[in-house]
Structure 1
Amino acid sequence: MKIYFANALFSQADFEYNTRLVAELRQADPTLSIYLPQENAAINDKNAYANAEMIAQADTEQLTASDLVIAILDGPTIDVGVASEIGVAFAKQIPIIGLYTDSRQQGATNTQKIAALQQIAENQFHYLNLYTVGLIKSNGAIVNSTDALIKAIQEQTH
């Protein structure tokens, strides 16, 4: 199975997280072929040069040749590149698994948190763009842990 891994890759934290998570996925199932854009030095060696069209073409070729997209949804908002990749995957009917680990999704039944929503600027929960979430759910799923991600990938491969 060919998988496209979509996440931000410009901070050290994102770069290291991507490396660690993809290594864990590869170890869980060595038959997976995972494209991690940051490993493509032809377009992502930031000491070299690749223009916007070169980057779009290289990543889109990998994305549209994939059987599955993993999209990381964490951060203040969904990364704009990841949102674009979700849109392409949806248009090409490629299944998507979103990974959303933000701890603010917890406490959905806490009455104090729910009541706080009535006060301006007192949202105790994190918000994801519902259009983008809808694209994922239309042809995939959203999970909230690495274990659940591995299980969802296994379900896609069997």
Structure 2
Amino acid sequence: MTVYIAHRLFAAHDRSLAADFADRIARKVGPDRIFLPFCDTDEEDLVAEVKGRRLFELDRERLGRLDAMVAVLHGPSLDDGVCMEIGYAAASGVPVVVLTTDFQTYSMTEAGTHLEFPDPLLQAVATRIVRVAKLGPPPLSPAPGQSRFQEFQARNVAQTNTALDAAVDAVLDLPGRAPLPAGSPSAIGTPVYVEASPYTAWDRDHLAEACADAGHTVVVPQRFTASDPITGALADLAAVRSASRLLADVSGPETPPGAALLIGAALASGVRTAAFQPRPTLTHAHGREPNWRNLMIQYAVDAHLDNEEAVLSWLAA
């Protein structure tokens, strides 16, 4: 079993948590069977002509030959690189365990179905979700001299240890790879799937309208309006893998999680993809070229578009 551990790279606590999990699962399957990004790509010391692209290539090469993925996700703002990797794995038939200690659940409406994550796509594609939402129990007798802050920290450590051990057990109990059926063109032609950003207005979709005005059949997401968000999410995944192109609005503080996941699925399925971002912001890391989005998103797409004219040109190419 080869296990890929997907985690947010830009926070020390997430890197530490992923390393802790890697060590635990390595004791069961062997260290050579584990790929831990940043650690195993030697990111800080790697020298390459275009470092971000090289890191993407190394990660994608590993994504193409794994047996299982463990993804660490916390909170309503989910790391776009991790979500992209989940989409790639899911479309490749790789079982995915998602690990979270988030105590919140989410819903589309006040009375709607409660979801593990803000976008139902994450829950729809996960083979297992390991969720430990409560702190460890307080000690029956606090250690002498222990402050309340140390006690609180210990309860968090206990919660994390429970989650990591449960994730190890989940990985060891996973089924084998089961590739999804290949996407097939729609009976009504070769549609363009348009994924809007939740950070833009919900009452209009200028990208879908532009594609339709240009004569293309357009498919838009179902999961946010479906009575069953999980069923809608699976329909969205199938629609992207059957589309001729994916046009994803990646606007926001980071690529929206659903858009990131669909970009990964499209890449694994050979679907041409463009990212629409009219107001890009750049990220910078030591020794790496500036990136207009997470590098896993930047290099997974075929084009980066910033206006409607660029969209029409991409559609016509």
Q: TM-score, normalised by structure 2?
A: 0.39
Per-residue deviation, residues 57-86 of structure 1 (Å, max 9, x unmatched): 110111110000111121342210000001
Higher helix share: 1
The answer to which structure, 1 or 2, has the higher relative contact order (CA under 8 A, 6+ apart) is 1
SS of 1:4 mapped into structure 2: strand
Counterparts of 1:98 and 1:24, CA distance in 2 = 16
Question: Deviation string for 1:37-75 (max 9, x for gaps)?
Answer: 111345x22674553321221101111100001111213
After superposition, what is the alpha-carbon deviation per residue over 1:65-112, rounded to whole angstroms, capped at 9, x for unaligned? Answer: 00001111213422100000011001111111111211235xxxxxxx
Tell me whether 1:57 sits opposite 2:57 in the alignment.
yes
Distance in structure 2 (CA, Å) of the matches to 1:89 and 1:4? 10
The root-mean-square deviation of aligned C-alpha atoms, in Å, is: 2.7
- Tell me if the contact between 1:4 and 1:34 (Cα under 8 Å) persists in the aligned partners: yes
Cα 1:129–1:46 shift into 2, 3 Å: farther
Structure 2 SS opposite 1:39? coil
For structure 2, the residue ranges without an aligned partner over 5 or more in a row are: 132-162, 177-317
The alignment status of 1:151 with 2:169, answered yes or no, reads yes
Residue in structure 1 matched with residue 12 of structure 2 by the alignment: 12
- Partners of 2:116 and 2:67 in 1: CA distance: 30
Query: Could you give the per-residue CA deviations for residues 105-139 of structure 1, whole angstroms, max 9, x where no partner exists?
Result: 5xxxxxxxxxxx58xxxxxx974311222122xxx
SS in 1 for 2:56: helix
| Counterpart Cα distance in 1 of 2:55 and 2:35 | 14
- Structure 1 pair 46–126 and aligned structure 2 pair: CA distance change class (3 A): farther
Contact persistence 1:73–1:98 (CA under 8 A): yes
Number of the residue aligned with 2:124? 134
Give the counterpart letter for 2:44 in structure 1. Answer: D
CA deviation digits over 1:127-157, x for unaligned, max 9?
4311222122xxx111122232121112127
Report the structure number with the largest CA radius of gyration.
2
Question: TM-score by structure 1 length?
Answer: 0.73
**Superposition pairs of residues 1-158 of structure 1, within 5 angstroms:** 1-27=1-27, 29-31=28-30, 33-42=33-42, 44-45=43-44, 48-49=47-48, 50-105=50-105, 117=110, 127-136=117-126, 140-144=127-131, 145-156=163-174
Q: How far does the alpha carbon of each residue in 1:19-52 deviate from its partner, in whole angstroms, 9 at most, with x for none?
A: 122112223x04361100111345x226745533
Partners of 2:124 and 2:41 in 1: CA distance: 32
Which amino acid counterpart does residue 130 of structure 2 have in structure 1? V
Aligned CA distance change for structure 1 residues 46 and 76 (closer, same or farther; 3 Å): farther
Instruction: Say if 1:9 and 1:18, in contact at 8 Å, map to a contact too.
Output: no
In structure 2, the CA distance between the partners of 1:152 and 1:59, relative to structure 1 (3 Å rule), is: same
**Counterpart of 1:147 in structure 2: which amino acid?**
D
CA distance in 1: counterparts of 2:34 and 2:54, whole angstroms: 20
Q: Equivalents in 1 of 2:100, 2:35: separation in Å?
A: 20
C-alpha separation in 1, matches of 2:93 and 2:29 = 25
CA distance in 2 between counterparts of 1:63 and 1:134 reads 20
Unaligned runs of 5+ in 1: 106-116, 119-124
Query: How many aligned residue pairs are there?
Result: 137
Secondary structure of the 2:34 match is strand
Does structure 1 conserve the Cα–Cα contact (< 8 Å) formed by 2:41 and 2:55?
Answer: no
Q: Distance in 2 between matches of 1:149 and 1:16?
A: 16
